[in-house]
Structure 1
């Protein structure tokens, strides 16, 4: 039963971010609500309202049919336009910023609910239209159901106005960066709060039993509470090998166990792993660093050439790195003072190197961006870190950046700026002399 429950949870997690998930649910709700109203009409709800509150009931068959037909036609046109606008948004975000942004934009619940409201109203109006008997007899017209269709159409118009506002808001790069940042901040904060076993030791796992997955895909999430329950039951410890967000291949070890496990237990453990063909920042904070880095790189590419966006992206990276400095490089999950699970994580040095290595290629020739990145390093060095070696990582990345900038920039005034930045960061390098920077560097004699 628990195995089936985990499968259902994994299936729900895989489909809930699909753009058609909520529209499908609301369309089914509209279909069923239409038949509920037809049932109530047969029980005489319109007749009762016509006698008590006649202003709420449409009692003319031709008028009702005309209204419903107009609603259906207009709402279908409105839905097609809205869906086309979503496609334009996704295409523009993919071409101007990064294709990795698409899963997050598609999973926007506001767009899904608006499309669902359209489908709900369209299906409701269609089936209410079918229930009208074209005899002109007012008692055969579902007057109250027609009134509800008018109200639902007004709601659709309001939803359309909100949709235009929302889509014009979401396409702005500042709002995209802000959304990525807040999702990553929320995820990182939860992980930091959950690090109750980070200061405990975990046994050496070199001789443990390894088990692999039959599935492939991006390792999206794992139900740690269920894994801990299994560890308690089997009196074992487990190490989860792949880092979240990595693409897991078949026959590659997925986890190790201190004790050898039977086939049924292995299947139960595997059911707690969730794989997907896409990645979401809400499940993997490291993806936020990747997405913001790609936006910066794309902005500084010759085809886009938008340094303002790159500067904004560096601001958000600075805040995320400052928060990441509060997280340990290893995740050890403990419960009741006992250590049960070790989860592989992206360490701070690897994360910062991957981000800065991509940015250096496109930004090392721009002194303004070099200054911005150096300001980021200066700020991070002043922040509290859970490990002291994080400061060494920051200093090393700053040194590499300034060395690359020194080799790429030829203007002597800009080189003096690099000299001052190196002094502020307390960087000494053989690449250039801090105290006596040659003014003839890069100048053709």
Structure 2
């Protein structure tokens, strides 16, 4: 039962990421509201209002049809303009920043709500308009339904103003960067709080002889339902090791997990329902993608076609904060059962891999830029000063600083500029208590 619920949740998560999901729900709601109001009209709601509050009801058929026709035409125009604005936003974001950020912009629910409300009001107005007959007298007109249509159409204008404000904010690069950062930070914080790393590293057994489970789908490993996995391990009395990190693109028939017992076909199917796949990547499900997106935006900003070092510097600032949070997390993740025994081992991107794949492209694209090199080294210096540096991470950070300084030494010919870059090295050496090769580098 838990696996079925998990599968429904994964399907729902995939659906809500589509740009047309919420507009479709709003459209269905507008259709239902239209039929409900027509039913209420057949029960005499307009007649009641004419007798008790006549000023609230339109009692002229031509006036009602003209108003509704005008609203329908206006809403269609606003809807076309709004959809055009969304497409312009997506095109500009893809060209100037990174195509990877498009799923996050598409899944912006506020814009989907506004577009959905447009469609719902349009459908409602069309239904009410079709119910008006030229020969209707004031007691036969759906006067109350027309009044509701007028109110809904007025709200369309208010939402259009809000939409313009929202879309003008969403297209700003600082807003995009902050949104990516907040989503990655939230997800990383959740993982730090959820996993039981402290008590489980020594408890989890060696899995070299365990049975392999292969996947029968293709796509990005988007989510892992750990709750359902824990329930599965309890029912099957087994332990699971996940072989693939979240966010990885997996081909069909690739090993995805290991189990310490032989699983029958039913158990295998139950296990595989705990993995959610998608053809797109979403930051809220994988914090590593946040690092990737910020890195790609910084690299794109440093390209000759864009030439926006300010954006690249902003990305490095946010990356520094994310790395500072990542310093609090071990390179392994385990989940314990009710008896505090480690039963699930997750494959994670270790800190060395993460910091390399972030700073390696930055080194290549920024090694000639003094300001960017200074900013990158300052970020590494900031990480070394953190109080939560896990053992072994300091050597990784200093090793990355070594590679940056080596590239700078080869790429920069001006001695004064090189001295300015190597001045950061002196700060790193001053706080470094271990004998590392960083101190051997020289500008000579």
TM-score by length of 2: 0.96
Shift of 1:363: 0.6
What pairs with 1:108-127 in structure 2 (closer than 5 Å)?
108-127=108-127
Partners of 1:198 and 1:333 within 8 A in 2: no
Give 1:346's match in structure 2, choosing from 342, 345, 349. Answer: 349
Alignment match, 1:298: 300
Give 2:319's match in structure 1, choosing from 317, 320, 323. Answer: 317
Give 2:279's match in structure 1, choosing from 272, 277, 280. Answer: 277
Shift of 1:254: 1.0
What pairs with 1:51-70 in structure 2 (closer than 5 Å)?
51-70=51-70
CA distance, structure 1, for counterparts of residue 178 and residue 2 of structure 2:
38
CA displacement 1:263-317 (0-9 Å, x = unmatched): 1011011111100000000000000000000000001111111111111111000
CA displacement 1:16-50 (0-9 Å, x = unmatched): 11000000000000001100000000001111111
What pairs with 1:11-410 in structure 2 (closer than 5 Å)?
11-200=11-200, 201=202, 202-336=204-338, 337-385=340-388, 387-410=390-413
Shift of 1:235: 0.7
Q: Name the SS for the 1:290 alignment partner.
A: helix
Shift of 1:4: 3.9
CA distance, structure 2, for counterparts of residue 334 and residue 120 of structure 1:
47
Between 133-142 and 308-317, the greater mean CA deviation after superposition: 133-142
Shift of 1:9: 2.1
CA distance, structure 1, for counterparts of residue 334 and residue 376 of structure 2:
32
Shift of 1:199: 3.1
CA distance, structure 2, for counterparts of residue 82 and residue 390 of structure 1:
48
Partners of 2:300 and 2:306 within 8 A in 1: yes
Partners of 2:337 and 2:343 within 8 A in 1: yes
Extract unaligned runs of 5+ from structure 1.
Answer: 439-445
Partners of 2:240 and 2:345 within 8 A in 1: yes
CA displacement 1:94-140 (0-9 Å, x = unmatched): 00000000000000001100000000100000011111121140111
Shift of 1:157: 0.7
Partners of 2:3 and 2:228 within 8 A in 1: no
Give 2:421's match in structure 1, choosing from 390, 409, 418. Answer: 418
CA displacement 1:355-381 (0-9 Å, x = unmatched): 001111111111111111111011100
Taking a change above 3 Å as real, the CA distance of residues 2 and 335 of structure 1, as seen in their structure-2 partners, is closer
CA RMSD of aligned residues (A): 1.3
Partners of 2:399 and 2:438 within 8 A in 1: no
Shift of 1:51: 0.8
CA distance, structure 2, for counterparts of residue 45 and residue 431 of structure 1:
88
Q: Name the SS for the 1:18 alignment partner.
A: coil
Partners of 2:197 and 2:332 within 8 A in 1: no
Q: Name the SS for the 1:140 alignment partner.
A: coil
CA distance, structure 2, for counterparts of residue 227 and residue 319 of structure 1:
32
CA distance, structure 2, for counterparts of residue 135 and residue 424 of structure 1:
88
Q: Which runs of 4+ in 1 moved over 6 A?
A: none
Partners of 2:197 and 2:330 within 8 A in 1: no
Alignment match, 1:443: none
Partners of 1:371 and 1:421 within 8 A in 2: yes
Q: Name the SS for the 2:139 alignment partner.
A: helix
CA distance, structure 2, for counterparts of residue 3 and residue 99 of structure 1:
34
Shift of 1:410: 1.2
CA distance, structure 1, for counterparts of residue 312 and residue 175 of structure 2:
14
